Amino acid sequence: MDKKLLIGIIVVLIAVVIGIYLLITPIKTQKVYHVGILSGLNLFAPIADSFKEEMVNLGYVEGKNIVYDLQKTNFEPDKEKQILEKFVADKVDLIFGFNTEVSLEAKNATRGTGIPVVFANAFIEGNDLIENVRAPGNNITGARYPGTDVAVKRLEVLHEIAPQAKRIWLPYQKGYPSVPLQLELLRPVAASLGVTLIEFPSDNLVSLQAELEKRSKSGDMGFDAVLYIPESLSTTKAAFEIIANFTRERKIPVGGSSVATENYGTVFAVTVNSAEMGKLAARSADKILKGMNAGTIPVVSPQPYLKINYKVAQELGLNVSESLLNRADEIIR
């Protein structure tokens, strides 16, 4: 047989074999993950950005192998429930939710569905969000807000910045589940520092304003400083505006969380870095998407973040030590 003809036959046979192989072999397409994200508070919305940025670092490219359905609310329970129900109906591969209320609702919404949940910026004290830190259980894990750790640190920093403040007013949302444990830890620390905590459980903004107006009319506010602890009231600018109206002119320092209005803000904040929170949550999400059971992934905690508003401190005549400034992660001058 002619050599060229033989080669031609062989080439044709190889092409036929390849063609048959391609016909009978299923084409493997890259998995595209669908992730529902729900931000439950405007203050913490940037967490979603850092989450997505870290997912890129972990190999997830939006529109290529991952799709996000990002939704935002601001203390709107009914709307949050509807959004989470839609995520479940859409059979997303994972739900990423924050803050505490959203995280708890996400856990309830996904019960029995097998859809994993990653939470962020959520309290794990005073609720049934997880079973324990090492093994959160069920279909959930995430990055907690270190509320109890931060609460004590806030009191210590306030005492360091304003040691002359012996009466500290501590307003908080009445009935908020994470508060009792924080108060249990704060009371002995306050006693050791020689300060008195004046606790005020507020039903709402109206009761907060009424309390301050009553104190103002008495001629003596009855406190030397205001301390925010981690709970829902301290995250709202509306609450801070009410407090600022009564404390600014009297040069009473307010500290604990980072809130500002009209170029006037809290003296300091001991909180967490939203960017770090999002990154930690993304790493947990990556493990889940690669096959790990969410309930077996330990809950993580970001490091406390110290922010000092040196400008406000100076306006109030407070002496912020170099030692404290050196320990700050961020200084507003």
pLDDT above 90 for 16: no
Question: Where residue 7 falls among pLDDT bands split at 50, 70, 90?
Answer: low
Query: How is the beta sheet containing 254-255 ordered, strand by strand?
Result: 196-202, 167-173, 225-227, 254-255
In the prediction, which pLDDT does 127 show? 94
Q: What average pLDDT score do residues 224-250 get?
A: 91
pLDDT in tens, 95-150: 999 999 999 999 999 999 999 999 999 999 989 999 999 999 999 999 999 999 89
Q: What average pLDDT score do residues 209-231 get?
A: 93
pLDDT in tens, 76-93: 999 999 999 999 999 999
Q: What average pLDDT score do residues 25-50 get?
A: 87
Classify domain 148-271+306-332 at the CATH superfamily level.
Response regulator (3.40.50.2300)
CA distance 224 to 252: 6
Q: What average pLDDT score do residues 289-295 get?
A: 98
In the prediction, which pLDDT does 235 show? 79
Domains 33-145+273-303 and 148-271+306-332 share a fold: yes
pLDDT above 80 for 19: no
What whole-number percentage of the chain has pLDDT above 70? Answer: 91
Which one has a higher pLDDT value, 218 or 25?
Answer: 218
Ranges of each domain in the chain: 33-145+273-303, 148-271+306-332
Q: Does domain 33-145+273-303 have CATH number 3.40.50.2300?
A: yes
pLDDT above 80 for 22: no
In the prediction, which pLDDT does 8 show? 60
User: Do 299 and 136 form a contact (C-beta atoms < 8 A)?
Assistant: yes
Mean pLDDT of the chain: 92
Question: Counting beta carbons within 10 angstroms of the beta carbon of residue 248, is it exposed (0 to 12), middle (13 to 18) or buried (19 or more)?
Answer: middle
Judged by average pLDDT, the poorest of 180-194, 227-241, 293-307 is 227-241
- Crossing angle between the packed helical segments 237-247 and 205-217, to the nearest 10 degrees: 0
pTM: 0.84
